[in-house]
Structure 1
Amino acid sequence: MKCALVLCSLSFLYSQICHSANIVAFMPSPFYSHQIAFKPLWLALAKRGHKITLIQPNVIVENNENITHIVLNGTYDILDKYNHVHSLVEGQSVMKVLYAALEAVMEGLEYQLTHPGVQELLKGEKKVDLFFTEFLLTFGFSLGRSLNAPMIGVVSMDTTIEGHMSAGNPTHPVMYPDRDMPYPLPLTLKERMLNTLHWLVDRVMNEIFLNLQDRVASKCLGQQIPLNDIIKNVSLVFINANPLFNVVRPLGPKTVNIGGGVHLMEPQPLPTELQDYLDNARNGVIYFSLGSTISSKHLSNTTKEVILKTFSQLPHDILWKFDEEIVSKPKNMKIMRWTPQQDLLRHKNIKLFITQGGLQSVEEAIFNYVPMIVLPFFGDQHNNAEKMVARGFGLTLDHNKLDVRTFRSAILEVINNPKYRERTKESADLVMDQPMSGLEKAVWWTEYVLRHGQTDHFRNTLSDIPWYQFLLLDVILCFLVITVIVAYVSFKLLQLLKCLAYKLYGKLTRKIKTKIN
């Protein structure tokens, strides 16, 4: 009996062991926050003995024997060529920015797929056991298909309407608003109309974008299978849907929510100079950073003057992550080109974080109980700002309309009113109280796919339902047609009965008149 139990235990343990695998991770997005979000996952998998080829524009993991890099740094040259980020900061028209972005994306896709390192990987004879790629720029799945490997899609935030639909998750425009819509539930009639319109436009735009990506994949890889068909057969999708910022929706078995804060690393000591600066700040420190994509030097001179004048009037020390030195900076200000942001926000003397509102930055502040002022520029930043305010974590301001009085008032309100920090702490503690961390879930499910390969048993038929069936438009149309036909037939029958009644009435009247006469 004991032998049987031991054998069963050993068998179970063996089934959970995942031997060293050859993993390829293709993260094409040029935004640093999208790449750094999964650094803990790559490190955790490498620590477990897996060999990872990391294909992305930046080197985010250095000196690791189990991680090899294919660096797509030419992506930034293409981005600069179309001046995309600068256009966003300068507030150019939406259509002009979108057109430039589309051109940059398509040229970037071709550059990345034809990169010598990627082409060499395709020609290699070594078997790829698992392929990761972003679930936003989905052309990466064509590369995974060419490598003939099981695939996992990853998103550094919640996924799109199309992403949820492809994974078989509910995407009802009223019950589950898209991540880009800032409206809290329940929705008003106006918000329901806007959400539905957004849902329909997103479907159309996604089809156009998928067709463009298909052309690039066909040209660079000889891949003829439509992306739509490839995406529906991915093994799993990892989303970073923080419940503080996203509508909680039921997820199909193919989707694993590893959010939020999965990108947070283990605490590290601060550089001595920075540690001393924070320790010696009597009234605390205000930390100001616009992230890795938006550069503070691209702010207008008027906006910079307002910010500097406001900071000079505050009793707190200021730490500003800036790409270049400011000649006439206030005495209470320190400029740094780079900061270890996660560890910086852990310091007890950080009183306020002024940020552009990127999801990773906002999460880092929340999980360290730091209230915020958000100055959003583009993308999900505006929606993150609105949701942050709704949750009571701080305030948001328009960077194009900043004035000293409003900016100073907002800063002092968030620092001096304890409700913002208390609300941030309360919410963070609720989110972090989980039986398994997001990173642990990501590692376990990654090795699940390595152990079992494809996950066809998880496939949800919801991903195969056309949008018009999902919205019950065909059912509604049929009911309308049936109703119209029944109404029309009923109307004709009534007309016929009316005519017969008139004829009978006429005959009876004539007979009665004849008898009387």
Structure 2
Amino acid sequence: MEHSCQLPTYEVGGAGARYNKTDHYAPEIMGSSTLQSVGNVALKAAFLLSMFVESCNGGNILVFPVDGSHWINMKILMEDLHARGHSMTLIRPSTSWYIPETSPLFTIINVPDEIKFDDFFDVYLKKQIEFLKGKASVLKFLSIQLEFFDMLSYYHRLTCALLSRMFDDRELIQRLQNEKFDLVLTDPAISGGVMLAHYLKLPLVLNARWICSGEGHFAIAPSPLSYIPVTGSGYSDNMTFFQRVKNVFFYSTMLFQNYFVVGPHYKDLCKKHFDENCNVLTYTQEADIWLMRLDFVFDFPRPTMPNVVYMGGFQCKPSKPLPDDLEAFVQSAGEHGFVIMSMGTLVKGLPSEIADEIAAAFAKLPQKVIWRHLGERPSTLGNNTMLVQWMPQNDLLGHPQIKAFVAHGGTNGVQEAIYHGVPVLGIPLFFDQFDNLLRVRERGGGLILDLSELNQHTFHTSLQEITQNPSYRENMQRLSRLHRDQPMSPLDQAGFWIEFVMRNKGAAHLRTDSYKMPWYTYHSLDVILTLLSLVGLLLLTTVAAIRYTCCRMCCRKKVKHE
């Protein structure tokens, strides 16, 4: 008996046919008798084929996720893959925050690890606020940055230790090899899945925006620093000379992070478990498909590569009805509408003095406020503000009465605001958040309020500007229309390319081998130096010939004169 695993194909139907998610055509204009006849033939054929061919609808995927908000993205992608009929096995670290220990959607392999952050991000935020408000010296700021590098080093070191234990567990490795996976799907912000894919010699698909050294494009696509801002610089694609100088400095910091903070841990892993002198960046560049969690409605235009697929906003979807208590609360605001606020998943809450300033400003608003706040209850909280530990953010953003979104600037929240056309007041905390909010501000869809400037007056004034000036909403609705104007939804596009890799055992024809070149070859410095040397040699030869001719002429004149 032959075993055939047929993955879905994608075609475009003509008149009289409609696309069906089970990947065949359903005629709509045939008569009932014709349909019955065709159906009987199809049933007989299917029965005969079933005697010889055991068919299945999906592939077999090994998933190595990253925790926190990154898991939210991966979970959405996995839910879609499950709906498409694919089976998945997920590698789950035992100390995971959000990844469940069991799931009906996929098989879970729990592996022991020691990664713990405790209150690192809350402490880190407080120290950063002290520096921004001028309460800390430059030396203190450098100390804060070193602490951040230590945290990164710690995370990657323990990830490599986890991988090393997995590679030493021959029973686990044999199980993974026996599963005959079609590919590895991973988030390369932590490179465990990248290393595992290379170890198992499987095709690799990245659910990416970040790699372990920074923004993913810098690893695979031409990235001229003259107009491609490095994350953390806080610049747009239109930089002055001094901004370009600073942009180069930030790029150097990214290289430092790769080669001295993160890279050595993977080098040690390679020495123990891989035959070749490997490099984690090179293995990342070998990925077949990069599913990028952004698009050019959100990001600045830049060069890209054929194996980069843009799925920005793939987690966004039409809003659903709110729970009764929330719906009653927002309806009570009447024509004034409501505002929501969320500062993400990494910090438990803002410092109490800042939370009090925000609560006092909210109390002055005519709008109702829904605030996801996990810290102490602010002493200045008004009657118009509801504190919640969780809220259906997408459904609230899609509600017709929403007026503004106060956000920290995480990629997910910003893209959901764009999808629903809601203006944003951004309060960036760290990482890429300022850069994300900058892209919204540059397009006229919001404002940024720095933590060092945040008080009751500035916060209230900024909120009034966002809610009362219609240009912010109009600009965000324009971005929303651009984002939605696509031939295929971002989630469907992601699913197609994952299945493409499974059907074709990779996508090597889309991947450039430029990453195998030495840096001087990539930038053609060897060619430039060779050409300059030839020009220099030609000039020297010409000068020498001229000098020789002049000397001969002078000698002849001297002999003739004597």
TM-score, normalised to structure 2's length? Answer: 0.77
Distance 1:241 1:79 in 2: 28
Q: In the alignment, which residue of structure 2 is the partner of 1:247?
A: 300
Do the aligned residues in 2 keep the contact of 1:317 with 1:333 (CA within 8 Å)? yes
Q: In the alignment, which residue of structure 2 is the partner of 1:445?
A: 497
Q: In the alignment, which residue of structure 1 is the partner of 2:6?
A: none
Q: For residue 101 of structure 1, what is the amino acid of its counterpart?
A: M
Structure 2 residue 528 is matched with structure 1 residue 476? yes
Q: CA deviation at 1:197?
A: 4.8
Q: CA deviation at 1:210?
A: 3.0
Q: CA deviation at 1:485?
A: 3.9
Structure 2 residue 433 is matched with structure 1 residue 381? yes
Alignment of 1:85-124 (within 5 A): 85-91=122-128, 92-93=141-142, 94-110=144-160, 112-113=162-163, 121-124=172-175
Q: In the alignment, which residue of structure 2 is the partner of 1:461?
A: 513
Q: Deviations over 1:114-173 (max 9, x none)?
A: 678995642413322221111232232221233343221111569977844655x33333
Q: For residue 338 of structure 1, what is the amino acid of its counterpart?
A: W
Q: In the alignment, which residue of structure 2 is the partner of 1:27?
A: 65
Q: CA deviation at 1:271?
A: 2.1
Q: In the alignment, which residue of structure 2 is the partner of 1:14?
A: none
Work out the percentage of aligned pairs sharing the same amino acid: 27
Name the CA shift for 1:422/1:74 in 2 (closer, same or farther; >3 Å): farther
Do the aligned residues in 2 keep the contact of 1:322 with 1:336 (CA within 8 Å)? yes
Match of residue 307, structure 1, among 332, 340, 358: 358
Q: CA deviation at 1:491?
A: 4.6
Structure 2 residue 469 is matched with structure 1 residue 417? yes
Q: In the alignment, which residue of structure 2 is the partner of 1:40?
A: 76
Name the CA shift for 1:179/1:436 in 2 (closer, same or farther; >3 Å): farther
Q: For residue 59 of structure 2, what is the amino acid of its counterpart?
A: A
Q: CA deviation at 1:55?
A: 3.1
Q: Deviations over 1:168-223 (max 9, x none)?
A: x333333544455543334443344444454455345424433422324555xx23
Report SS of the residue matched to 1:37.
helix
Do the aligned residues in 1 keep the contact of 2:236 with 2:438 (CA within 8 Å)? no
The number of aligned residues is 489
Distance 1:434 1:34 in 2: 25
After alignment, is 434-443 or 457-466 more displaced? 457-466
Q: For residue 349 of structure 1, what is the amino acid of its counterpart?
A: Q
Q: CA deviation at 1:435?
A: 0.3
Report SS of the residue matched to 1:392.
coil
Q: In the alignment, which residue of structure 2 is the partner of 1:65?
A: 104
Q: CA deviation at 1:40?
A: 2.4
Q: CA deviation at 1:429?
A: 0.5
Report SS of the residue matched to 1:370.
coil
Distance 1:463 1:110 in 2: 23
Name the CA shift for 1:429/1:146 in 2 (closer, same or farther; >3 Å): same
Do the aligned residues in 1 keep the contact of 2:166 with 2:173 (CA within 8 Å)? no
Q: For residue 108 of structure 2, what is the amino acid of its counterpart?
A: H
Q: In the alignment, which residue of structure 2 is the partner of 1:13?
A: none
Do the aligned residues in 2 keep the contact of 1:37 with 1:156 (CA within 8 Å)? no
Q: In the alignment, which residue of structure 1 is the partner of 2:454?
A: 402
Report SS of the residue matched to 1:80.
coil
Structure 2 residue 117 is matched with structure 1 residue 79? yes
Name the CA shift for 1:61/1:101 in 2 (closer, same or farther; >3 Å): closer
Q: In the alignment, which residue of structure 1 is the partner of 2:341?
A: 288
Do the aligned residues in 2 keep the contact of 1:34 with 1:156 (CA within 8 Å)? no
Q: For residue 45 of structure 1, what is the amino acid of its counterpart?
A: L
Distance 1:470 1:162 in 2: 20
Alignment of 1:51-450 (within 5 A): 51-56=87-92, 57-59=96-98, 65-70=104-109, 78-80=116-118, 83-91=120-128, 92-93=141-142, 94-110=144-160, 112-113=162-163, 121-124=172-175, 125-156=178-209, 163-164=216-217, 167=220, 169-174=221-226, 176-178=228-230, 180-199=232-251, 201-203=253-255, 205-208=257-260, 209-216=262-269, 219=272, 222-225=273-276, 226=278, 227-258=280-311, 260-265=312-317, 267-282=319-334, 283-296=336-349, 299-326=350-377, 328=379, 329-450=381-502
Q: Which runs of 5+ in 1 are unaligned?
A: 11-16, 512-517
Report SS of the residue matched to 1:252.
coil
Distance 1:473 1:170 in 2: 16
Q: For residue 113 of structure 1, what is the amino acid of its counterpart?
A: L
Distance 2:333 2:208 in 1: 38
Q: For residue 294 of structure 1, what is the amino acid of its counterpart?
A: V
Do the aligned residues in 1 keep the contact of 2:421 with 2:473 (CA within 8 Å)? yes
Q: CA deviation at 1:244?
A: 2.8
Structure with the bigger RCO (C-alpha within 8 Å, sep 6+) is 1
Distance 1:407 1:243 in 2: 30
Distance 2:476 2:485 in 1: 14
Do the aligned residues in 2 keep the contact of 1:237 with 1:254 (CA within 8 Å)? yes
Distance 1:395 1:118 in 2: 51
Q: For residue 474 of structure 1, what is the amino acid of its counterpart?
A: D
Distance 1:161 1:465 in 2: 21
Q: Which runs of 5+ in 2 are unaligned?
A: 1-37, 46-54, 129-140
Q: For residue 288 of structure 1, what is the amino acid of its counterpart?
A: M
Do the aligned residues in 2 keep the contact of 1:162 with 1:206 (CA within 8 Å)? no
Q: For residue 19 of structure 1, what is the amino acid of its counterpart?
A: N
Name the CA shift for 1:117/1:207 in 2 (closer, same or farther; >3 Å): closer
Q: Deviations over 1:388-410 (max 9, x none)?
A: 11110111011122132222211
Report SS of the residue matched to 2:89.
strand
Do the aligned residues in 1 keep the contact of 2:445 with 2:476 (CA within 8 Å)? yes
Do the aligned residues in 2 keep the contact of 1:27 with 1:134 (CA within 8 Å)? yes
Distance 1:424 1:321 in 2: 23
Distance 1:331 1:117 in 2: 57
After alignment, is 482-491 or 266-275 more displaced? 482-491
Do the aligned residues in 1 keep the contact of 2:289 with 2:309 (CA within 8 Å)? yes
Alignment of 1:471-510 (within 5 A): 471-496=523-548, 499-500=551-552, 503=555, 506=558, 510=561
